[in-house]
A and B are shown apart, each in its own frame.
Chain A
Amino acid sequence: MIEDAAFYIFAGVSLFSAIAVVLSKNIVRAAVGLLGTLGGVACLYFLADANLLGVIQLIVYAGGTLILIVFGIMLTSQSPWVGFLPTKVQAIAASIVAVILTIGIVRLVTLVPWAQRNPDELSQSLTVKSIGDALLTTYLVPFEVASVLLLVVMIGAAYLARTEK
């Protein structure tokens, strides 16, 4: 019962902040809304016993990416209140992409036969140890490819940011 209540609370927080992200015209406020969404989703992961996923969500997206976004806004802003006013073309393109994405996700959720699993078995399979083992054995190639991709991005960023000689 408490789990159900918690689910609705966290889902509500996520939804509410997501709506705030979309409707807010102030970029920093939108970023705060995004923090609420990411935090709410992380809480849903915690509720589903996916501790590692929830923590990674918090540390990578909420604690890292989002702060970099806000930092970027602060560095590049011309006026104290950075507005967010998309042009008509941008708005139409964005809504088309959003509609396609929504249809795709809804189709996916309804089509996939979600396995009903025993909670005990589930919490066993979701430990950090088993995920780490899987990443370094079964999924080693995708894992390494992702690492190389990140390395390339980092070198590229460092190249772009270097001082001109």
Chain B
Amino acid sequence: MASITLPWVERNPKTLTSQRRTALTLLYSLAFLHVLLVIASWAWLTPLSSAAKDLTDGRIPLVLILCVGSVIGMLTFVTAALVVTFYRLVGRILAAPWVAFIIFIGAIVGIILLAWLHAEAFAFVKNMAHPAYTDVNPAPKIFGTSIEYEQSVRSIYEQNLEPYAFKIPFVGNVTVLAAYILWPLQFAIVRDLVAVGGIIGFISIVPGFGIWWERKIAGRMQSRMGPMRAGGWHGWAQSAADGIKLIFKEDYVPPSGDGLLFRLAPYFALVPAICAFIALPFAAAWVFRDLDVALIFILAMLGIEVMGVILAGWASNNKWSVYGAMREACQMVSYEIPMGMALLIPVMTAGSLNLGAIAEAQGGGFWTWFIFKNVWCFAAFFIYYCAALASCKRAPFDLPESESELVAGFLTEYSGFRWSLFFFGEYAAMFVISGLATILFLGGWMSPFPSEWADKLIDPNTNHFVATIIRGVVAENPLWFIAKATFMFFLQLWIRWTLPRIRIDQVLYACVQVLLPMMMVVLLGNTLWILAVDHWSWMQTTDMIINWILAALGVAVVIGMLAIASYGFRHNKALVGSMAADQLPGK
């Protein structure tokens, strides 16, 4: 594909003077309008905030939109005007590869910080809403049940929240501002919309980033460079460029196929993958709906996703496509069984079907993660991962779309946007199975350290911002979940570019005659093991010793991997071809 040069990395930006003048006039007048808006809304806000005993006042969202919105608008327009004024300078700076790299890193850091702030804001509301949780009156789910906002606002005033309540000039009490900003969240539907927006945003980022990452990894593993052009630094904008290309491609529907089903199939592949995120928790309260059947729900969604592939293959009316669809059908139906049974092992060990409870049970440091719990859990993790790879048709089980023998299997007839929907679905499903593996076996959002350490380091009663951050690093945080799930995601890419594709009879043999009997033994073994540990005290000692041995093994594997990776990094010039060597980082 021809490289797309983004406007901000154009080497010699040429702008017409008249166009620039028009743009500048427009931007500056808009900025001025916003300054007026800020002043007007400030005049309105001041009496309101001084009398702000009742923040459930209906005028507050208006003030919010006017004040905060116009400040943001003003800043945006002024920045845009400055960029237009110094376009040549800005363009020249932006054209340098290192700037693109800084933007890339800055964007990632910014997204992470934003997500964190988001989490803290929700936690803030939650803590204020119910100061004391009881069994009758449990802690509210952030997106699930309603937060009593009146109560929370009252507690802002009743409790003296010292760390939050510092004054800044002209704005006044920051706590009040926080209350203003959190005002719309009192409506359940607003919280739901925010959450849906977050989920869809996340699903849009995962495939974009994942595909670029996969192509870079594929390049490195094959001694080439992968995408290098779009965006500047290592082709980081490649996925965006590809997306633009795909949208503009011809939307071809094979005339001899079943047009209706052909058009419908991509949605059957994408929508269930998005639906799986409904029940996938990112942290204790970071879930759209905290279902008690979350695990089965996610499994069901991954099962329905196959329908899209089967329909795509069938409706294409193409031999390659039907072969791909049939492979997918028999592969999925058979691998669902060991996968579902492997998921039962952590459920049995934790004694709960709730994903939150399963993750909380692994909070005492990395050696309490279920993967290291005992031999059966250890085996179940690998069986789950194999079956999950097969169920979302990743290599070495990517037979449905095997490009070398079936052209592209069920994707043969697809092009443009419909084609990209399949990939959105696939990468979203990859993240879902990685996230499930993380929650069930790798401690979910718990850090590798025991969560009691957080209480030792920080007084549990302090609610300081720094204290929250330290608690997040030491005890639990959604970022731990995302980091672990991303590592599992990376493993899938690694496996894909390492192992060759296996034959369809080998796929079925591996499932029915290897994984399934193994899984049955593991299931029975785990049941008896749990009973035995409960029954005999010497079994508890054995259990602990095995737990420690497995944890030590895990540490050894991680250290070994890091050692090999650092060796490779230091000798990268010897390991890759001379063409790629110049482009490697750290040269």
Q: Which A residues are closer than 8 A to B by beta carbons?
A: 2, 26, 28-29, 32, 35, 39, 51-52, 55-56, 58-59, 62-64, 66-68, 70-71, 74-75, 80-81, 127-129
Q: Are B310 and A59 in contact (CB under 8 A)?
A: no
Nearest-neighbour CB distance to chain A for B191, whole angstroms, equals 14
The answer to whether B333 and A71 touch across the interface, beta carbons within 8 angstroms, is: yes
Asked whether A63 and B329 contact (CB < 8 A) given A32-B261, A70-B314, the answer is no
State which of A32, A56, A127 has its C-beta within 8 Å of the C-beta of B264: A32
Contact A28 B326 (CB under 8 A): no
Q: How far is the CA of A127 from the CA of B493 in the complex (A)?
A: 38
Residues of B within 8 A of A29 (CB): 258, 260-261
24 contacts between A and B (CB under 8 A): A2-B189, A28-B314, A28-B315, A32-B311, A51-B292, A51-B297, A52-B293, A52-B296, A55-B296, A62-B300, A62-B303, A63-B300, A63-B303, A64-B333, A67-B307, A67-B329, A70-B311, A70-B314, A71-B310, A71-B329, A71-B330, A74-B325, A81-B258, A127-B292
Would you call the interface of chain A mostly helix, strand, loop, or mixed? helix
Q: How many A-B residue pairs have CB under 8 A?
A: 86
Which residues of A are found within 8 Å of B310, using beta-carbon distances? 67, 70-71, 74
Contact (Cβ within 8 A) B311 A59: no
Q: Please indicate the chain A residues that have their CB under 8 angstroms from the CB of B333 in the complex.
A: 64, 67-68, 71
- Chain B residues with Cβ under 8 A from A68's Cβ? 333
- Complex Cα distance, B353 from A128, in Å, reads 8
B299 closest partner in A (C-beta): A59
Given contacts A62-B307, A67-B333, 12 further A-B contacts (CB under 8 A): A35-B268, A35-B304, A58-B303, A63-B306, A64-B303, A66-B307, A67-B303, A70-B307, A71-B310, A81-B258, A128-B353, A129-B353
In contact, B297 and A55 (Cβ under 8 angstroms): yes
- Are B293 and A51 closer than 8 Å at their CB atoms? yes
B326 pairs with A71, CB closer than 8 A: yes
Q: List residues of chain A with CB within 8 A of the CB of B329.
A: 67, 70-71, 74
A28–B310 CA distance with the chains assembled, in angstroms = 10
Distance (whole angstroms) from the CB of A36 to the closest CB of chain B: 10
Per the bound structure, the CA–CA distance linking A74 and B301 in Å amounts to 23
Nearest residue, chain A, Cβ from B311: A32
Closest B residue by C-beta to A123: B292
Cβ contacts under 8 Å, A2 to chain B: 189
Please indicate the chain B residues that have their CB under 8 angstroms from the CB of A51 in the complex.
291-293, 297
A contact residues around B260 at 8 Å (CB): 29
Check A128/B326 contact, CB under 8 A, given A29-B258, A80-B317: no
Distance between Cα atoms of A62 and B304 in the complex (Å): 7
Residues on A with C-beta less than 8 A from B268 are 35
CB of B274 closer than 8 Å to a CB of A: no
* 3 shortest interchain CB distances as A-B pairs: A63-B303, A59-B300, A58-B300
Measured CB to CB, the closest approach of chain B to A71, in angstroms, equals 4
* B192–chain A nearest beta-carbon distance, Å: 10
> With A and B bound together, what is the CA distance between A29 and B332 in angstroms?
21
CA distance A39 to B300 in the complex (A): 11
Q: Does B387 contact A (CB under 8 A)?
A: no
When distances are taken between beta carbons in the complex, the residues of chain A under 8 Å from B261 are 28-29, 32
Q: Which residues of A contact B326 (CB under 8 A)?
A: 71, 74-75
Q: Mark B279-314, 1 if CB is under 8 A from A, else 0.
A: 000000000000111001101110110110011001
**Bound Cα distance from A62 to B291, whole angstroms:** 20
Whether, in the assembled complex, B436 has its beta carbon less than 8 Å from a beta carbon of chain A, the answer is no
A81–B322 Cα gap in the complex (Å)?
Answer: 13
| Residues of chain A within 8 A of B293, CB atoms compared | 51-52, 55, 128
Q: Which residues of B contact A66 (CB under 8 A)?
A: 307
Task: Please indicate the chain B residues that have their CB under 8 angstroms from the CB of A55 in the complex.
Answer: 293, 296-297, 300
Chain A residues, Cβ within 8 Å of B314: 28, 70, 74
Q: How far is the CB of A130 from chain B (nearest CB, A)?
A: 11
* Distance in angstroms between the alpha carbons of A62 and B264 in the assembled complex: 16
Q: In the bound complex, do residue B303 and residue A56 qualify as a contact, i.e. CB atoms below 8 Å apart?
A: no
A55 to B260, CA, bound (A): 27
Q: How far is the CA of A80 from the CA of B256 in the complex (A)?
A: 10
The interface residues of chain A lying within 8 Å CB-to-CB of B317 are: 80
Q: Which of B260, B303, B336 has the most CB of A within 10 A?
A: B303
Chain A nearest CB, measured from B338 CB (Å): 15
Given contacts A32-B264, A74-B314, contact A67 B297 (CB under 8 A): no
Q: Which residues of A contact B307 (CB under 8 A)?
A: 32, 35, 62, 66-67, 70
A32-B264, A71-B326 are contacts. A128–B303 as well, Cβ < 8 Å? no
Tell me which residues across on chain B come within 8 A of A64, comparing CB atoms: 303, 333, 336
